[in-house]
Chains A and B, each alone.
Chain A
Amino acid sequence: MKNIYRIFLLTVLSSALTAAFAQRDTSSQSGPGPETMRKSLVNFRSALKTAYQKYSPRDLHSINAYMTALARIDVAHRFLLENFNQNEGRGIIKYIGANGVENQAHDMFEACSLLTETALVQMERNELDGKLLEATRRSDTLHNELNKVYESIAEIERGRASDLKSKLDEESAKNRELREDAERRFKELQSELIKVRKDARGTIISVSDLLFAFDKADLVSDLKTALAKIAGILSVYKNCTIVVEGHTDNVGTAKYNQNLSTRRASNVKDFLTAQGVAADRLSSVGYGFTKPVATNSTEEGRQKNRRVDLVVIDKK
């Protein structure tokens, strides 16, 4: 809306100037005639007053420019009336003064048009600066609102994180409890058949080869109970994976022992699966006599080497 208004003012100004310079009196050497200048000055004054009412400038520069332009217009107007002959009803038609007065009138008129335009521009700039100030305040308010919203979102996020942490802590405590319980129960299970120890990989449950018939991979039925107890513990304590490893002594060929250890490990794995331990937590591998835990030169050592190890690895 203000832009339209500005365009209107500038149009008035420029049309006044164009008319002024276009309609020259025959008596003039150059520039607009006195009557045309007088009328244009009236238009300048009118444009300035309208703009002043519209913009209501508050800064000293705009007010000063406005007052200066008005004062110069009045002086120029008076100068024209005093120095040029007036023909009643037909305006100023003829210069009656000394040489050079006409040029002076043109300079004064040009100064008035420049001062008017400058005042209009400054008033508009002042108006824009006011708007800018208002927009800056609005921007500050918006930023404050945004900060409040950010803070509310952050608070909710913090609450969520706290809840999640509590749940994790709870779960962690439950897991620790289960692990301790499992370890305790494993210890209780310790016998000649089953030995429990810990190493870098995790808890290792070693099952003696007495669980198997001689030179066979099938489990002995009477001794399955002990293994079933292990399965019971493992099915409750789910936060772990189990690797079933088969081992033998060095009696016989490597190939034979490898095959035997693999089948025994596989059978134990199948038994555990049948007892309710999830298959995806179980894997089996046969090592033959490659990983002895004791010397193979004595019967006692060989007895220790013939075993199936359940390596219980805690999930991270």
Chain B
Amino acid sequence: MKKQIALKLAAPAALCLLLFCVSSYRTLSQTADTEAGTLKSYCEQINLQTPETIKADSLLTRADILLRERRNDEGYSKTDLAVFYYRLALSKKELAQSQKRHEEMQKRLSEDQSRLTAYKQMLKEMKEKEAQ
């Protein structure tokens, strides 16, 4: 009796397990897709258009086609690549910003240094005059 009940339950349980595995797989695979989509929107939002973003866009388009054709491994691989291209583009942008900030800071430092030297000289002359 118990054996029969167990057998009756085994089939739905196996089906549920299969559905769970498939949905998990889809969720996991969607992560990269979502990340790529987010990065793409962000790059568009900040108006970042470089050879890397163009390449990433074309890879995403290719990935969509592959996924529609159920060539999932290849599709996700292309999505992955697109993510890496977007990240590279953003990293390069950040580097350029840092370089610009650094150059500005160096310029400001140089100006401040010159001002300090000039004022120190002025102070020295004033002190000498006072002493006289």
Per-residue A-contact encoding for B60-102, CB less than 8 Å = 1, 0 else: 0000000000000110011011001101100110110011011
CA distance A135 to B94 in the complex (A): 18
Are A153's CB and B123's CB within 8 A? Answer: yes
Asked if B116 is at the interface of the complex by the 8 Å CB criterion, the answer is yes
Asked if B26 is at the interface of the complex by the 8 Å CB criterion, the answer is no
Given contacts A121-B91, A121-B95, contact A135 B105 (CB under 8 A): yes
Give the one of B84, B92, B113, B115 with max A CB within 10 A: B84
Given contacts A149-B123, A150-B119, contact A121 B88 (CB under 8 A): yes
Closest partner residue, chain B, to A157 (CB atom): B126
CA distance A138 to B91 in the complex (A): 27
Given contacts A145-B116, A150-B119, A156-B130, contact A110 B81 (CB under 8 A): yes
Contact of A107 among B81, B88, B119 (CB under 8 A): B81
Chain A contact residues, majority secondary structure: helix
Given contacts A114-B84, A156-B130, contact A146 B116 (CB under 8 A): yes
Which A105-119 residues have a C-beta within 8 angstroms of B? Answer: 107, 110-111, 114-115, 117-118
Which A229-257 residues have a C-beta within 8 angstroms of B? Answer: none
In the assembled complex, which residues on chain A have CB atoms less than 8 Å from the CB atom of B109? 135, 138-139, 142
Q: Which of A41-49, A126-134, A196-204 contacts B (4 or more CB under 8 A)?
A: A126-134
Are A156's CB and B91's CB within 8 A? Answer: no
Asked if A136 is at the interface of the complex by the 8 Å CB criterion, the answer is yes
In the assembled complex, which residues on chain B have CB atoms less than 8 Å from the CB atom of A143? 112
Asked if B8 is at the interface of the complex by the 8 Å CB criterion, the answer is no
Per-residue B-contact encoding for A68-93, CB less than 8 Å = 1, 0 else: 00000000000000000000000000
Are B84's CB and A153's CB within 8 A? Answer: no
CA distance A110 to B84 in the complex (A): 9
Asked if A152 is at the interface of the complex by the 8 Å CB criterion, the answer is yes
For B, the interface residue count at a CB cutoff of 8 angstroms equals: 33
A-B contact count (CB 8 A): 84
How far apart are B23's CB and chain A's nearest CB, in angstroms? Answer: 25
CA distance A146 to B116 in the complex (A): 6
* Sample (28) of A-B pairs whose CB atoms are under 8 Å apart: A100-B73, A104-B74, A107-B78, A110-B81, A118-B88, A118-B91, A121-B91, A121-B95, A122-B91, A122-B95, A125-B91, A132-B98, A135-B105, A136-B105, A139-B105, A142-B113, A142-B116, A143-B112, A145-B116, A146-B115, A146-B119, A149-B119, A149-B120, A149-B123, A150-B119, A153-B119, A153-B122, A153-B123
Residues of B at under 8 Å CB distance from A? 73-74, 77-78, 80-81, 84-85, 87-88, 91-92, 94-95, 98-99, 101-102, 105-106, 108-109, 112-113, 115-116, 119-120, 122-123, 126-127, 130
